[in-house]
Structure 1
Amino acid sequence: MNKRDFVLWFKDLGKDDIPLVGGKCANLGELYGQIGVPVPNGFAVSAYAYKVFLEKTGANKKIDALLFDINTDDLKSLQEVSEQIRKYIESLPIPKEIESSILKAYDRLCTQRKKKNVAVAVRSSATAEDLPGASFAGQQDTFLNVDKKMLLKRVHECWGSLFTPRAIAYRKEKGFAHDQVLISVGVQELIESYVSGVMFTMEPVSGDKDKAVINASWGLGEAVVSGSVTPDEYVVEKNTLHIVGKEIFKKDKQIVSDKRGSTKWVTVPKNMQDKPALTDKEIARLVQYGVQIENHYKFPQDIEWAKDKGGHIFILQARPVTVGVTTEEMKKKERRDFMEQDIIIRGLGVSPGLGSGKAKIILKVKDIANLEKGEVLVTEMTTPDWVPAMKKSLAIVTNLGGKTCHAAIVSRELGVPCIVGTKNATEVIKDGQVVTVDGKRGFVFKGEAAEREAAKTVSAPVDLSAQIVTATKVYVNLSIPEIAKKVAEETNADGVGLLRAEHLMLGIGKHPRLLLEEGGGQLMVDTFSQGIGQVAEAFSPRPIVYRFLDFKPDEFLELKGGEKYERGHVGPNPMIGYRGEFRYMKEDDIFRLELKAIRQVREKMGFTNTWVMVPFVRTLDVFRKTVQIMREEGLDNRTDRDFKLWIMVEVPSACFMIEEFCKEGIDGVSFGTNDLTMLVLGVDRNDVSVQELYDERNLGVLRAIAYTMAVCRKHGVTTSICGQAPSVYPDYLEFMIRNGCASLSVNPDTVVSSRKMVAVIEQKIQMEKALGFATKPKIAGIPMEEVFFWKKVE
């Protein structure tokens, strides 16, 4: 290989050739020739070719003149100069020797593929190793579905893209002359992608290096890379290739090649829009490639990939997933601009909606008073102490966190757009900078979105006349009383299936034992009754189901007095330790404070739509003692017909003793599938080394649930579910409805979509009955008749 060649083939390149062909092309060469994963063939128009082009055309002189004394703060002037330079570069003739080399290489590619006119992708590849690519890489061009006629034009345009406004401003700021940064152009056979997307060989939000995360959608990959579609997401345990998470989204549009040598958006056929883009075998194969690449580079990778109609998977690009500010920015900014705004940073979108406003960087909770209403809160992470600030925020961006972190849960309930897991938003976003937060896609970009009115997660209040009616109730999960009225009006949920108590305790900020010691028991009663009453009033006459405090011992440690009163209860596995009904029996003085609050809500405030639920029920004896304490405090579902008593079914003993629990007079059960799966299978759901065994759809788990529901139906006890399984697996929801589940409880942002899913399933069942035939539904490939083991025994 000659370093002065105008064209260099991928097979001859490696990761050390960045000065010759830039980062993208060098890594493609490494993938193609050294690692052995399937990579579409291609070549690089070298940085030396670009240098010769500048020298032979004398372009540098005019570029220097146009850039002389430019004011990069004058955006209009900057844009004008950028356009002049790009047009000038594209108007200059490519030297014949360079042109000939490019076209000969293209013809050779066609010969290798045994095609006359191979469609190619043409991508810029910057050579400046010491410059953060994020400052200008996102502005350099990529062209898809390019034929021979357009090839030289696209190479020209890639060269010109080195002079976008952002790239010019960055080089000016850092004191680099424009001719210090060269550019290469990659020309690669275009895979006619049937499916494409991005894979991270580590969990990009949590940093879990034992998992890979795949995003996939129909068509060419630009749709996923640019964030223009919401792709399917698969989370895979790399060592075992076990799929531990699967989210399938509606994919109603895709980018495809057109006959004019370009690309276009088209509508995805309706029968494909809700289908998974990849099979389990394809997911496993893709992760194997990812692990192979990661092992070679010895670092987690961000990989773009594609699958053709024949089912062949190709790797299109790989780059390191890094944590530092500079390299993280490079990764983020290599995504194409969205809505003509500069993307500042990307994280995990956890609460959908758009929010535009001034950013306020707050690092310590003591400074939250500095946040003005309508500003965008940017911080490291949030805790319950931050809720007052979160309520005033137009949007929220955090460095840390995942889908179930405090910021995610609270922001969804508040209806505030939120992005978590950005790693360094507090460094990248400037205080006072106007930004727009896209809480669905996970983007923060410069400037104010034109669609500011779209900022609300939930749109206008639901038109009750048009509301879908379902036999299965769709309840909502809540933990923040202040937003109850808004959620009740905008979602039209049938009630609250899970009102968490923990947030009320965190709001007080003290361990309940410390409160009692200080004589503050009444504070707890008043705080709880006020919060519960606020929710009950908002939803009245719809029911709200209040779950008694279910802190695990290690979670109590966060409260003042936690170390003193709780440290002794923290065992080796707090998830199965001192919690639930057992705690109420052992510390009934604290439990009685909650009961007084409930009675105050029902009797003094008059909200008799308030019901209660006992969590983590283990044994019949302890449950009886818990109920006895309730009755001593004046709460008795035997004598008060409006008062309902539910239990959480999270422990296998509750499933197989359900007949006895029903006879004790319970009114309802709610399945907590997360804990129930863990305990049925004996698998710690927080231990990654055994995650391949954790499956809510395991036959043993399904049988436990189905048996419980059958017994409850016999005794007239209502059944519900507030675990995550139905929202992750549609067949799980159908399984629950077919077996008589009376309700499900979901987060506020999914009430409407969940109701639609329920309606479809109910209509399907009704049609089967009307036509006199029944399908044989399966869940996770298991025929449902296999679930009903007790019928075979009978």
Structure 2
Amino acid sequence: MQYIKRFSEISYDDVAIVGGKNASLGEMYRELRDLDVLVPNGFAITADAFRYYIEHNGLFDEIKRLLSDLDLNDTHRLSDVGGIIRAGIVHGDMPTDLRDEIFAAYRELGEEYGHNPDVAVRSSATAEDLPDASFAGQQESYLNIRGTRNLSTTCKWVFSSLFTDRAIAYRAHHGFDHMDVALSITVQKMVRSDISSSGVIFTLDTESGFRDVVFVTSAYGLGENVVQGTVNPDEFYVHKSKLEQGFAPILQRHIGTKELKMIYTAENVRGNSTRNVEVKPSERREFSIEEEDVLTLARYATTIEKHYSRRNGHSTPMDIEWAKDGENGQLFIVQARPETVQSRVDNVQFQETFRLDETGEVLTQGKSVGRRIAAGRSRVILEATHMHDLKEGEVLITDITDPDWEPVMKRAAAIVTNRGGRTCHAAIIARELGIPAIVGCGNATEVLDDDLDLTVSCAEGDLGYVYDGILPFHSERLDASDLAPTETKLMLNLGNPERAFEASFMPSDGVGLARLEFIINNSIGIHPRALLEYDSLDGGTQREIDQSISGYENPRQFYIDRIAEGVGTIAGAFYPRPVVVRLSDFKSNEYASLIGGAPYEPHEENPMLGFRGASRYFSPEFAEAFALECQALRKVRETMGFENMKLMVPFVRTPAEGERVIQLLAENGLERGVNGLEVYLMCEIPTNALRADDFLEHFDGFSIGSNDLTQLTLGVDRDSAAVTEGDERDPAVLDLMEMAIKACNRQGKYVGICGQAPSDFPEITRFLVEHGIGSISLNPDSLLRMKKITAEVESAAGRTAPPEQAAPQK
């Protein structure tokens, strides 16, 4: 055939003939089937067919004339010109020989899938899916097209979509000559995801650019809703290298609202063969795919990435669309292209970080995109027909965006939407433009009005916040390129899993303190005994818990999985560097403040010295809750495969208590020394240093907790404004630190510090390095400064780090 190429005849070298989408589909269909990556069959209508159609209808010169002096800033004129060109193409005549070839290829596809198969008819431009520009969404797609007559008419509509307003503007902004770009068409067998699920995959974290994860999104029905941001999808992160080693490393699961799903309807043309329907509330509260589906999709994605990386001769993160067939349960890849934003960012040597100098009233919140902060006046636009009202530097607030909005989106200081996930259109364009976006707020257009002064912050983790007023903020560009390696290991204090991928790029030797309390408080928020004794709770507390545990098997499993996901995310982000996880150390008043917690906690006048730390773990009141904690940590090491996770036991009052905790850990499957598990003691009570040798009989080392050590040494209460004397620089505190360091070094065991002191006081960092501490764990904003000080002290003492000991770069 002259104008048709079957997928089996296409490779990635055929972009000029069949466009990026078809070239990729053909490449995968031919090369990856033997690797168990499933791609539905189809064919391409070539770019030559498009040129033939244009010439046959005498449209070339008229299109060139209309576009020759077009001012893209005149959005109304852009709309008029685009409309004229599209009308001319749609009302053209399909050449008989081209029509006959299209019909023949369609009937051939019917021999494989049945008479008049349902097909997706999509554009495949000859300049799309390039490594430095993504034309995704610029042209139209039509789903569930059946029969030759509908197919012929749909092909005209796809040809015309090369000249949508957004496509014209995008080509001009990226320097492509309109007449040099031609359009091929993809005709591909539909996957019956209308009765199942579909979504998008990225082979990196779209926010930080972290490369060792696969990011999977999923929602019910056909995939257009996820791509267009019509729904807030479920989200999953899978660790690549541990997946390849045979583990099941699902690091995170976030359930989306998934209010709508796109399904088949009566056959028609121009997209009317699908419609959106509401998803049942019970289905919204469940994940739209099973864990095994997530792992299979992640395997597909890593296979695709490896193939394209080998073919291109360099690492090629991918943006992939998938669909699950509700009739046979199989998972299919329906599109793949290079990711074009984060893959070009140098995250290793340079980091630009944004920080609010003060906070204010939060007006709405959603998923953060961009890790930046911006401020401006609000502009609420509910309909695309009014998008031209957006002025330069305003904050765009709308329900969702689609590619029609692109000519004006570059004016925005930030974007805030009601709907959408991190792979929706608004998120993708915001990343390309380098502006912050908050998507999936749910109520942004209801609670925000025009002409408000707003600050949009995406620099605080997974959630982005819209603050009332113009708040002061600053940015800092960190340069790690000239930092020398140090013999002393410099690690990070990191409790928030949402910051883990981003923090992993810093030149650290791992995580010296990951506090379980942060994960329990922020990711769970429920007392563990309330989850264990769910059936005995009052109805109001049960309903409150039900809202949190949607998608999880039961309350007990929710607690296990959420801890495992939080710890696993940190361990995965820094793998293979060590991550030291401190077992839970909530005080009784802190546990009581969790949902359902008050009945299970004693009232204590001084919780700091009360029912906390190691003494909880083997008490009858808490032993079962501690067992859940241990199950979660076992899952991190055994199911996810992160043996770089170490454990630290807090607030151990006596060596006998320490020995008892070590035995209890072993009884719960966390035996010290098995598969390299190391267990440290948090040296934070003066007796830990004074009797260091006795404690070290049961532990692999110490990590100094300088905050509690200072309070208990000097008898001060950091929470009391009436007692302000003394801090970590007091000679008594320094003496205890020195005792702990000497004892560990004498026995050849690990010794570090994870307290706040080195982050606050450079002189303490100097003291610790001079006295031979093995590692210092710092807040991220102190790392580079203290790394320079550490290098200075070591250099003065004639100590240098061997090259192989330099902190790994991600």
* TM-score in terms of structure 1 length: 0.49
> Larger relative contact order (C-alpha < 8 A, sep ≥ 6)?
2
User: TM-score, length-normalised on structure 2?
Assistant: 0.48
